[in-house]
Amino acid sequence: MLMVNSINHIRIAEHFCLDEFQCPCCKKVMLHPLLLQKLKCLRFKADKTVIINSGFRCPDYNRKVNGVKVSYHLLGMAVDIHVPGMSLKDLLLIAKEIGFKGIGFYPKRNFLHLDIRPTGQARWQS
């Protein structure tokens, strides 16, 4: 019998489970449906596994990782991802094509921040 360690281990799409998006400290999770839709599209276009480094963050965990006070992670509207076997630059091009509103490029730490902020666009590199 397979034992699952997380109450959130629920398949929510062909290539994603809810627990991939949960806060590491408290296991709570919020996930905006549009974010999931765009991630499914990104997964299809990349044709590779998308690893969620950081999804939802509770306020305590966001402070612990020095996240910005108004982070979209707090609202279930942002993820930090990487795709093994794909360059960040190629992943960035796909994210732009899909229409993520916020895109942070972190080559030294090998991930992209992607969000679905309601207005405007933001691009940054660190």
The 3-class secondary structure across 34-98, one letter per residue, is: HHHHHHHHHHHHHCCCCEEEECCCCHHHHHHCCCCCCCHHHHCCEEEEECCCCCHHHHHHHHHHH
- What pLDDT score does 44 carry? 98
Q: What does pTM read for this prediction?
A: 0.92
Q: Over range 50-57, report the average pLDDT.
A: 98
Percent of the chain at pLDDT above 90? 92
Please provide residue 33's backbone torsions phi and psi, each rounded to the nearest 5 degrees.
-60, -35
> Residue 111: pLDDT band by 50, 70, 90 thresholds?
very high
